[in-house]
Amino acid sequence: DLAVALNNRGQVRYFRVEFAAAMEDYTAAIECQPGFEVPYYNRGLVLYRLGCFDEAMKDFRKVLELNPQFEDAALSLKQAILDKEEKQKRGY
């Protein structure tokens, strides 16, 4: 379906390091099918890589709300929290 296709195109763009385009695809997939947790996770990964920890944590939490068994989202959320704390300790 369309949400899966958009998510998949986002993955291709992510691997090409086209982060803005990937995020557009993930967001479009979410808008198309709000209960589909995978594009939230993928968008969270992009946000995490860009250092946008608060936004990434929001997406990872949404994944876990939709699917509490999504272990990679739980791990990514923990890592984002740790990295945000480390960034704050260092003062930037």
pLDDT tens-digit series, residues 34-69: 999 999 999 999 999 999 999 999 999 999 999 999
- Residues ≥6 apart with Cβ < 8 Å to 22: 10, 11, 13, 14, 42, 43, 46
Amino acid 33: pLDDT: 98
Percentage, residues of the chain above pLDDT 70: 100
Non-local (6+) Cβ contacts of 7 within 8 A are 25, 26, 29, 36, 38, 39, 42
Domains in the chain, ordered, with CATH? 2-90 (1.25.40.10)
**pLDDT confidence band for 91 (50 / 70 / 90):** confident
- At residue 92, does pLDDT exceed 80? no
